[in-house]
Structure 1
Amino acid sequence: MDGSSRGCPRKTGIGGLLEYLNGCVLVLFSGPICEGDAVNTELWAIENGLEIFANFGWVGCKHLVIESEPMLLHMWTPR
């Protein structure tokens, strides 16, 4: 899942995919969202992916691995 932003704050967009471990794609998603910064955009992309995962009824029957920007983990972690 990914988000992008041009400047801070600017119009932003998200995108991502849900796939099996073998690479077979289940769902693709993308689209514009509101104005924001890169961190919030990335969070919106993750939230959107989680909602899709839940809405398809995959919770409890499929595993979910979230891949995102490594620096965001550093920014979210308390110091």
Structure 2
Amino acid sequence: MDGSSRSCPRKTGIGGLLEYLNGCILVLFSGPIGEGDAVNTELWAIENGLEIFANSGWVWCKQLVIEYEPMLSFSW
């Protein structure tokens, strides 16, 4: 999952994917989320991915591993 932005505060967007451990993609998501900073955008992408997973049929039978830029999210 990832977030991106331009200047500060800036227009931001998120994107991510849910995939099996073998690399087969289950779902892709992306979209604009308005204005914000890089940290909030990154966390918004994680939240969006978690919501998709929680509302899917995979939640009861799959393990979830979150990959993101941890230094960005935890340095503020």
TM-score normalised by the chain length of structure 2: 0.91
Is 1:16 the equivalent of 2:16?
Answer: yes
Secondary structure, aligned partner of 1:58: helix
Going from structure 1 to structure 2, the CA distance change for 1:23 and 1:66 (only over 3 Å counts) comes to same
Q: What is the total number of aligned residue pairs between the two structures?
A: 76
Displacement, 1:60?
3.2
- For the aligned residue pairs, the C-alpha RMSD in angstroms reads 1.3
Relative distance call for 1:39 and 1:15 in structure 2 (3 A) is: same
> Structure 2, unaligned stretches of length 5 or more?
none
- Distance in 1 (CA, whole Å) between partners of 2:74 and 2:11 is 24
8 Å contact kept, 2:43–2:73:
no
Matches within 5 A, 1:1-79: 1-75=1-75
- The answer to which of 65-74 and 7-16 deviates more is 65-74
| In 2, Cα distance between equivalents of 1:40 and 1:73 | 8
User: Is the CA contact (8 Å cut-off) linking 2:39 and 2:73 kept in structure 1?
Assistant: no
Q: Is the 8 A contact 2:13 2:33 kept in 1?
A: yes
**Identity %, equivalent residues:** 87
Residues 3 and 53 (structure 1), Cα distance of their counterparts in 2 relative to 1, 3 Å cut: same
